[in-house]
Amino acid sequence: MSEIDSMTQVADIQARALLALAAVDDLPALDEWRVSFMGRRSALTQLMRSLGSLPAEDRPALGAFANTARRTLEEALSDRRREIARAQPEAAADAIDVTLPGWPTPRGGIHPTTRIVREICAAFASMGFSVVEGPEIEWDHYNFEMLNIPRHHPARDMWDTLWIDFEDADGERPMLLRTHTSPMQARIMESTRPPVRVVVPGKCYRYEATDPRHEWHFYQIEGLAVDRGIAMTDLKGTLYEFARRMFGVDRKVRFRCDYFPFVEPGVDMSIDCFLCQGDGCRVCSHTGWIEIMGAGMVHPNVLEGVGYDPNIYTGFAFGMGPERISMLKHGIEDIRLFYSNDLRFLRQFS
């Protein structure tokens, strides 16, 4: 059959169907009409099925033509159904049960990560910190160099980096997915004068295998306070107050030496286990302590790099993983749950 023949046939089917439809005046007849003109064995359906055997160049035009005819018939059918229902409400009452409840609209909820990020930011906002965000695609310059981590320095191994496939004239890759929110320390200080008091929530990326405690993408919340006369006591006091707000007023905190190239001294901060009160249990790996963040006094090289005089200004910085904090608060055992979009997990938070 040629393309023209087929088109004539479609037009003919459509004309006959519409003519027959005009004569239909109750719902059973309407259903019969639907079966004979649009059902599986109807001429139109058969014709559409046989499209596959046509020469390839004829298929699109005829396919489109047949689809239009089908849509025309569908619309005519629902128009006719409405007309009949209006004329015979008692028949329509059988077809549409108006006493059935409507479809419930699913209610969305706030993602647990968003929830904990907001909670943490609110705790710091109430202590005078403002909230700032920064780019996820970052320059090597801010992610490393401005943070006292020069090119080819072994400290870079602390962050397994996802590089952007782009080389500069020296054959170096200057662009990456930020491995932490710390680059915002440099960006903020570069563009403002002290006093600085900010927290920076945002997504970070690392080229890492995943396991229950590691994701290759996750959030961090960075904190930075720089002014005249800021000392280690301010760091300890601020973070202690934060821990009490997040985990309860009885929390004890512990600071131990740790190394991050952009702080000196550097520390890691732990809280006493809120589950076993320090006796040792599964949550705290039987140590009684849970590490919740890295922190330290901003390194003089970092201050100098952004044009702050380290003889006048000092400051502290900290960085934490909000998913980890949420895991501790809610007894969540696998960080990957945050990003696997399982509604059974997510619904528990809304």
The answer to whether 260 contacts ligand PHE (rule: CB under 6 A) is yes
β-strand 137-139 against 130-131: which pairing, if any?
unpaired
16 contacts 24 by C-beta, under 8 angstroms? no
Cis peptide before 150 (omega within 30 of 0): no
Angle between helices 59-87 and 3-23 (to 10 degrees): 0
What is the closest distance, in whole angstroms, from the C-beta atom of residue 200 to ligand PHE in the complex?
A: 10
Report the C-alpha gap between 276 and 289 in whole angstroms. 10
| Triad 220, 201, 349: Cα angle to 5° | 80
The answer to whether 183 contacts ligand PHE (rule: CB under 6 A) is no
For the beta carbon of residue 240, count every other beta carbon within 10 angstroms. Answer: 16
The answer to whether 270 contacts ligand PHE (rule: CB under 6 A) is no
Neighbouring-strand partners of residue 202: 220
Long-range contacts of 299-304 (CB under 8 A, 24+ apart): 299/148, 299/261, 299/262, 299/263, 299/264, 300/264, 301/148, 302/146, 302/147, 302/148, 302/185, 302/186, 302/189, 302/262, 303/189, 303/226
Task: Supply the residues annotated as catalytic.
Answer: 159, 180, 206, 220, 263, 317
Kindly write out the interface string for residues 216-235 of this chain, putting x where it contacts ligand PHE by CB under 6 A and - elsewhere. Answer: ------x-------------
The answer to whether 314 contacts ligand PHE (rule: CB under 6 A) is no
Stretch that binds ligand PHE, among 33-41, 66-74, 306-314, 315-323 (CB under 6 A): 315-323
- Which of 139/345 has CB closer to ligand PHE? 139
Stretch that binds ligand PHE, among 32-40, 84-92, 105-113, 316-324 (CB under 6 A): 316-324
- Which of 202/319 has CB closer to ligand PHE? 319
The answer to whether 201 contacts ligand PHE (rule: CB under 6 A) is no
Q: Contacting ligand PHE (CB under 6 A), which of 77, 188, 295, 325?
A: 295
Q: Contacting ligand PHE (CB under 6 A), which of 6, 148, 182, 270?
A: 182
Report the C-alpha gap between 350 and 112 in whole angstroms. 8
- Which of 192/348 has CB closer to ligand PHE? 192
Q: Contacting ligand PHE (CB under 6 A), which of 70, 81, 180, 197?
A: 180
Q: Contacting ligand PHE (CB under 6 A), which of 318, 323, 326, 338?
A: 318
Q: Which residues are near ligand PHE by CB under 6 A?
A: 180, 182, 222, 260, 263, 266, 294-296, 317-319
